Amino acid sequence: MKMKNAQVVIECLLEQGVDTVFGYPGGTILNIYDALYQYRDRINHILTAHEQGASHAADGYARATGKVGVCFATSGPGATNLTTGIATAYMDSSPVVFITCNVGESLIGKDSFQEVDITGITMPITKSNYLVRNPGELADIMREAFAVAAAGRPGPVLVDIPKNITTVEVDYTPLPKAEHIKHGRLKKLAERASHNVHKIDPDSEDVKKLLGMIAQAKKPMILAGGGIIRSQAEKELLTFAEKIDAPVAMTLMGLGAIPSDHPLSLGLIGMHGTLEANRASTACDLLIALGTRFSDRVAGHTSTFAKNAKIVQVDIDRAEIDKNVVTDYHLIGDACQVLAAVNEKLPQYSHGEWLTQVESMAGEPIPGRSDGKLEPRDIMREIHDRTKGEAIIVTDVGQHQMWAAQYYSYKRPCQLITSGGFGTMGFGLGAALGTKLGKPDATVVHITGDGSFRMNAGELATESFYGIPVITVLMNNGTLGMVRQWQSLMYGNRHSQTTLDRGPDFVKLAGAYGMDAYRVSTGKEFADAFDKAVSSGKSCLIECRIDIDEMVRPMVSAGSPITDFLLE
């Protein structure tokens, strides 16, 4: 059938089952927004306060649902405002398709109004990106973009469409999603990809090698990363861990890979990891890393990481193998498929003596405050108890992020949504809105700090207008807490430009958007306010006044061995 390419974009979204889009209109993308108007009863568009908010919302939606998120923006500053969100999604392997429009082809390269080479800018932070120059290829490019975003190791894809291309009338043939792989550009893409697929079966030499290494190990340990979450391998991981009777440490992106309260769980590893997780990584004789790239925040001084162990790395992305930590053996493949193949041949082991040794590595509990002030761990534990551990926690970046990781007991994957790789302050509110829209029946709690919250607080307008019931818990210590912590410990208490002794009044700010808001300074006040927020079923902000010198414990200095604790 004949239709303009602006309409083709919307039809392709419907082919993919898209029902929610986040974005912000502008001159070059007006034709697509005009087409979207005709589909307003089939696609829900969320107009955010800023393009960066839209990018984070689409990312949060993708992480919470497992679907591909979708974000629209116009050219120039509209497109460049997406770049932080694109990089955030890229570093954490989140599948989002970003659709931008550029100036018309006759204006490209002439420094035209709101012209920018967004494909060039985003090339290093996307799995793939496209500048559409052939009007007849748009539908196939859209289909390919979604396939690339979701396939293998997921990630963001950008499609940039010159405005004149959106006005061209083309022959569009609807194509069910199940047929995409057999058609056009995707058929060629699938054929190329098939040559690079490393299939794992229970009788393969790879599996036999790993089984042999497990059989020889006396002190095995598992390191679970975000790849377990992305491949939905939590059941296979739990079976694997219980069969080899090995403790499991998790990266920030891997939290929820096994329940935090499971006897084999060691919790978080790395710079702010538990003492037992970090110490066990040095004491183990076999470390099996699943879906993790050994980032600097996880491995610390890479030459000393797991120095007494043989290291096995399982990852779907060949580029991650031996990139940061040199391994003794590796398997290329989807974590779920690899673990399923290994579990099929794996006998039951018992490592009681090793598990007892690991248990003894834990430190003494950190004593509570004697002055009665509100403590971050008490806040997180109250949230956990009052939501029965079922809430989805979405964070910004800083001290509050680490407290959320340490003190909420995660039962399942995708219960913690946070910017791990890129460390994006301002990620949380937009991501929380996307999460709640993707998971409307879940209690979504946004954990933030006063520094992070200021960056995209304008998205309160989005939350209020659409009536998205997210509970924001703002830990206000009047400072850039994590940076201050580093200044206190490593820069002689020279707190240069980190004290935030200024507005706004966050309770009044939330009130200006018509939201309920509370300011609390004791545990009882917080519990009462949180109960009101949950029972109201409405948007709410709870400002928690905490001490300016609260610190995240444990802590390892950047680049140090992860057993050399600066704070225990």
| CA pair distance 146, 198, nearest whole angstrom | 22
Q: How many CB atoms lie within 10 A of CB 176?
A: 7
Q: How far apart are CA 199 and CA 193, in angstroms?
A: 12
> What's the mean per-residue pLDDT of the chain?
95
Confidence (pTM):
0.95
State which residues of the chain have pLDDT below 70.
184, 190-199
Half-sphere exposure of 234 toward its Cβ, with a 13 Å CA cutoff? 20
Count of CB atoms situated within 10 Å of the CB of 422: 18
The residues pairing with 448 across neighbouring beta strands, listed in sequence order, are: 474
Query: Taking Cα atoms as reference points, which of 425, 437, 443, 442 lies closest to residue 463?
Result: 437
Q: Please pick, among 4, 67, 127, 163, the residue that the annotation labels catalytic.
A: 163
Nearest Cα residue to 233 out of 390, 414, 67, 394: 414
Q: Which of 113, 169, 307, 490 is catalytic?
A: 113
Active site residue 51: yes
**How many angstroms separate the Cα of 467 from the Cα of each of 402, 427, 433, 471, 538?**
29, 20, 10, 12, 7
Backbone angles phi, psi at 242, to 5 degrees: -70, -35
Return the sign of the alpha-carbon dihedral for residues 377, 64, 537, 48: positive
Altogether, the residues listed in the chain come to a count of 568
Give the per-residue pLDDT at 436: 98
Do residues 103 and 112 touch, judged by C-beta distance below 8 A? yes
Amino acid at 132: V
pLDDT of amino acid 568: 83
- In whole angstroms, give the CA distance from residue 486 to residue 557: 9
Peptide bond before residue 347 is cis, with ω within 30 degrees of 0: no
Do 102 and 28 contact (CB within 8 A), yes or no? yes
Neighbour count for residue 114 (Cβ, 10 Å): 16
Domains assigned to the chain: 2-194 (3.40.50.970), 205-359 (3.40.50.1220), 376-552 (3.40.50.970)
Q: CA neighbours within 13 Å on the CB side: how many for 353?
A: 3
The pLDDT score that the predictor gives to residue 372 is 75
What angle is formed at CA 149 by the lines to CA 249 and CA 9, rounded to 5 degrees?
150
Longest dimension (CA), the chain: 73
Residue 389 CB neighbour total at 10 angstroms: 17
How far is 343 from 333, CA to CA, in rounded Å? 15
15-32: burial string, b at 16+ Cβ within 10 Å, e else: bbebebbbbbbbebbebb
**Is residue 298 a contact partner of residue 372, using CB atoms and an 8 Å limit?**
no
| pLDDT value, residue 542 | 98
CB atoms within 10 A of CB 148: 24
**Residue 188, helix vs strand vs coil:** helix
> CB of 60 within 8 A of CB of 399?
no
| Residue 163 is among the residues annotated as catalytic for this protein | yes
What pLDDT does residue 203 have?
A: 78
Q: Which residue among the candidates 380, 402, 475, 482 is catalytic per the annotation?
A: 482
Strand order in the sheet with 329-332: 265-268, 248-250, 220-224, 286-290, 310-315, 329-332
Candidate list 15, 51, 144, 459, residue with the active-site label: 51
Query: 105, 114, 242, 525: which one is catalytic?
Result: 114
Dihedral Cα 56, 57, 61, 64, nearest 10 deg:
60
Percent of the chain topping pLDDT 90: 90
Alpha carbon dihedral 354, 357, 361, 365, in 10-degree steps, equals 110
E strand intervals along 103-207: 128-131, 157-162, 169-171
Residue that is written with structure tokens 């303009």 in the block:
4
Pick from 293, 283, 308: nearest CA to 252? 293
Is 38 annotated in the active site? no
Reduce the DSSP state of residue 332 to 3 states and report it. strand
User: Do 461 and 88 form a contact (C-beta atoms < 8 A)?
Assistant: no
Phi, psi of 475 (to 5 degrees): -85, 100
The stretches of 284-330 forming alpha helices (DSSP H) are: 296-299
Report pLDDT digits (tens) over 368-425.
777 778 999 999 999 999 999 999 999 999 999 999 999 999 999 999 999 999 999 9
Distances (CA, A) of 455 to 197, 452, 501, 550: 42, 6, 16, 22
Question: Taking the mean position of all CA atoms in its chain, how far away is CA 332?
Answer: 22
Would strands 248-250 and 265-268 be described as parallel, antiparallel, or unpaired?
Answer: parallel
**Half-sphere exposure at residue 63, Cβ-oriented, CA atoms within 13 angstroms:** 38
